[in-house]
Structure formats: C-alpha cells, structure tokens
A = this chain, B = another copy of it.
Amino acid sequence: MPAKQDKNAQKAITPRSKDYSEWYQDVVEQAEMAEHSPVRGCMVIKPYGYAIWELMQKDLDARFKAKDVQNAYFPLFIPESFLKREAQHVEGFAPEVAVVTHAGGQKLDEPLVVRPTSETIMYDVFSRWIHSYRDLPLLINQWANIVRWEMRTRLFLRTTEFLWQEGHTVHQTEDEAESFTKQMLDVYRQFAEEVMAIPVIPGQKTDSERFAGAVRTYCIEAMMGDGKALQAGTSHMLGQNFAKAFGVKFLDADGKEKYGWQTSWGVSTRLIGGLIMAHGDDKGLVLPPKLAPHQVVIIPIGVTPEEVEASQSKAQEIADQLKEEGVRVKVDSRDLRPGPKFFEWEKKGVPVRIEIGPKDLANSSVMTVRRDTSTKQVLTEEGLIDAIKDILDQIQKNLYQKALAFREEHTVTVDDYKKFKKDVEGNFVLAHWCGSAECEAKVKEETKATIRCIPFGQAKTPGKCLYCSQKTDLVVIFAKAY
C-alpha cells in the first residue's frame, strides 16, 4: 500500500511523553500493522502486522510440537447449553458472547455461541476420545479465531475478535497436570524472553483474577514502556472441574474409572500489542530481529541512472548473500528519495538499515544503521555478512537488556498505602498482601491497580498488608494493566 506510506511519510508520531495512548495508536497505524474494521470492535490485521504474527506462530508451534502437542481443529460454534455446564465458566463468559440465532434462513432450535474459548466444545469431544489411561496424556493445540464482545477495544490489545492458540490437555494424575501447566507457562516465558526480547515475571493469579473454571491460573507479566503491565500468556490448571462437567473419564491402571486432570493455556495477537509497547520509541516500532518480517532493509542510493544501477546491483548482491544465510532481507528499490524510505523503515522497526551509495561503492563498504541505538557504522564489504548477523544478535540481546533495565528502574517495594498510590503510577509495586479478596478489591477500586501475580520462587518476608495492615509474609506485584 505505497500510497498510504507516502502519506504517512508526512505524518509525525505523537511522542510517548505527550500521550502514550495516542503514540500507540499512531505506531499501529503508521507501521501499517492493523486498523479498525467496519465491524464494531473487530480489527483488520494488515500484511505487516500479520507477518509478525506468522513469525510468532511458527516459533511457538515448534515449541509446542517439541512437547508432543498435536494441532487439531474444533468447531467455531458452541451449543449454548455446553457453556452452562461448568458454573463458573458460564458466569465468566456468558456476558461477552456473540450468539447465532438464525442460520440457513431459519431460527435455530438452540442458539449457538461463537467460541469465546473452547474448553466446553473440546472436552465434550475428549470425553469420547479417552477410554483408558493408555490414551493419556492427550495433548491438543488449536490455532483459531476467538470472539469476546468487548465494550472498549484497542487494536491488538483488546478486540472483539482476535487470533490465538489454545492448548488443551488431559492427564492421568494431578501432579502431571500441574507440572504440565507450569511447563507450558515456561514455554511462554522462554518465547517472551528469547524471541520477543521481553523479560517477564512468571507467577500465579489471585483467585479473583483466575480463569473462569480453573483451579489455578499461572501467568507471565510484562512491563510496557509506560510502566503498565501486560499479561503476556496464561496457563490454567483446571483440576477436574471440566472433567466432571463433561465426563472426561478414563479407566486407570488400577481398574478404577477416574476423571482426567486438565490444563489449558493460550497466547494471542495481543502479544503484538505487547511487542509494540515493550520496545517502541518516538520514531515508531522497534522489532527484535527474531520477529522482524524484514531483518535488514537495503537502500540503494544514487543520483544518475548509472549510480542507481550500480548501487542497486550491489544491494541485490548483498541481499542474495544474506538470504543464503537465512537473513530476511528486502531491497527497497522504489523510485522514492532515500529520506522518506529511511523514515518509513524506521517507523516499521526494521532492525538494520544498509545504505549503499556511490561513495560506499568506491570504498567497497556500506553504511549500516541500527534501529535500536541509531548507531551508524561503516562496514567493509569483506566480512560484511557475518558482521550483519552479529549486529542482529546484538540487537536481539540489547532489546532484552534494555527492557529488563527499564523494568528494574520501574519496580519499587512499598508497603505504605499512601506512597503506593503515587508509586503505582508507571511502576510495578512489590507489596505485602494479606490474601483477602476484599483488600484486593479495595485497592483496585481506589487506585485502578490490580495484583498482576504472586511471583514464583519468592522468599517470604514478614510485613503488613498494604491495605489492612494485617501481618503477612506474602508479597505480590501490583500494577496498572492493559
């Protein structure tokens, strides 16, 4: 969509310090990632945004398969009665479902709900797939679209329809299910850190933030560029709640019929919103190389036709060499001036830009510019490919370190509620909590901050509940969240 790009080239991105929310919207629009559709709350994921999702999918899918998880596909529609079988589940999801009442020109006998998540439809089917302990574990994943009727929507972060994967497993024992729930959370943690270059805090959700129908919900929480939290993945230990509701039973080795122990876990296109907010700057998107549709963009520069041809030919030569090494590279030979091209690829977060002009050709060198640090560096053609690969590695690491340092700078330990109210603006706050849902609700009501998670592996330190001052050794993370 070059015309749009030309137009965007003129437009500035609102600085983050001025209006973070505007900045986010500008980046999504100007990096051509997504836009609002004519259908309320639904987005159009544009090619550049979708290419990032494809890279996420490819990486995650391989990680799931390495855990022996198999992909399958279940119906989009769920009979309304299925949703009602697990009491907490229906309570959580009923208010936000879209309902098909008519089809094929007729009123349906039973309305069909457009899946807001697939526990119910899948587990009804699982109950017929599983007979014996030999059928376990059953490890299934689905890549699908999901619909939850949201009142206030934001591109990628909260939309009526979104894309996700949902893993659903059945195990023989409680221990095995619990272990698998945590293993999948760790898959998400590794993906966030190694691929998205975002440090995350793994932990457990409080009861009030738990998935509707789960026994325990685990999550990874990431810090965005404004100090707010984004839940970047969840993994639920479902216990036997759904198994009992849907009859997911098996004959165990001891000859007894038992209910299966279940888990479910998911991440969605929301991660793209997290990626934008974790790394983006006032010039636009900043992509970690592992998720960049173009890791390198080469811009040939020249005034005379001969110069243009010479630099384009060199650009193509270097691009071919990079491609051979598995680098995703694009040569931008459009008939535009270099300035707007630099601007556009900066906005789109391309990790490395290479400029090749007559001077570079004469010196057998190229100019490279890193998106993360804006560092310019002249590199000789000799050893160029290895040097570029090395820079890409450095950018991947640097983005992670930068995000980690930012989070550390914006993490405070507070037990005084008055100070908390101030500190929770733009920070993660480690604070003592007595464990009561009331205190949690009061803090939320008065500050809009929620308990993001009870972090794993935390040494218990004696202290007093932030809200009620009762003695407790439980420390949790409070933050405002997306």
Interface residues of A (CB under 8 A from B): 1-4, 35, 37-39, 42-47, 50-51, 53-54, 70-79, 82, 94-105, 111-112, 114, 121, 124-125, 129-132, 134-135, 138, 140, 144-145, 147, 149, 151, 161, 163
A100-B102 Cα distance, complex, nearest whole Å: 7
Chain B residue numbers with a CB within 8 Å of A140 are 47
Chain B residue numbers with a CB within 8 Å of A4 are 129, 131, 135
Chain B residue numbers with a CB within 8 Å of A50 are 70-73
Q: Which residue of B lies closest to A151 (CB)?
A: B104
Nearest chain B CB to A328's CB is how many angstroms away?
12
Nearest chain B CB to A424's CB is how many angstroms away?
30
Q: Which residue of B lies closest to A54 (CB)?
A: B71
A to B CB contacts below 8 Å, 16 in the list: A3-B134, A3-B135, A35-B125, A37-B125, A38-B121, A39-B121, A42-B75, A43-B75, A47-B70, A76-B114, A76-B145, A95-B104, A98-B102, A99-B101, A99-B103, A114-B114
A98-B104, A101-B102 given; name 5 further pairs at CB < 8 Å. A35-B125, A38-B121, A46-B72, A77-B161, A99-B103
A144-B140 Cα distance, complex, nearest whole Å: 20
Contact A38 B135 (CB under 8 A): no
Contact B124 A38 (CB under 8 A): yes
Chain B residue numbers with a CB within 8 Å of A131 are 3-4
Contact B75 A47 (CB under 8 A): no
Identical chains bound together, number: 2
Nearest chain B CB to A435's CB is how many angstroms away?
33
Chain B residue numbers with a CB within 8 Å of A121 are 37-39
Contact A149 B104 (CB under 8 A): yes
A102-B124 Cα distance, complex, nearest whole Å: 25
Nearest chain B CB to A250's CB is how many angstroms away?
9
Contact A101 B101 (CB under 8 A): yes
Chain B residue numbers with a CB within 8 Å of A103 are 97-99, 149
A140-B49 Cα distance, complex, nearest whole Å: 13
A129-B138 Cα distance, complex, nearest whole Å: 45
Chain B residue numbers with a CB within 8 Å of A2 are 134-135
Nearest chain B CB to A68's CB is how many angstroms away?
11
Chain B residue numbers with a CB within 8 Å of A70 are 47, 50-51
Chain B residue numbers with a CB within 8 Å of A138 are 1
A46-B112 Cα distance, complex, nearest whole Å: 22
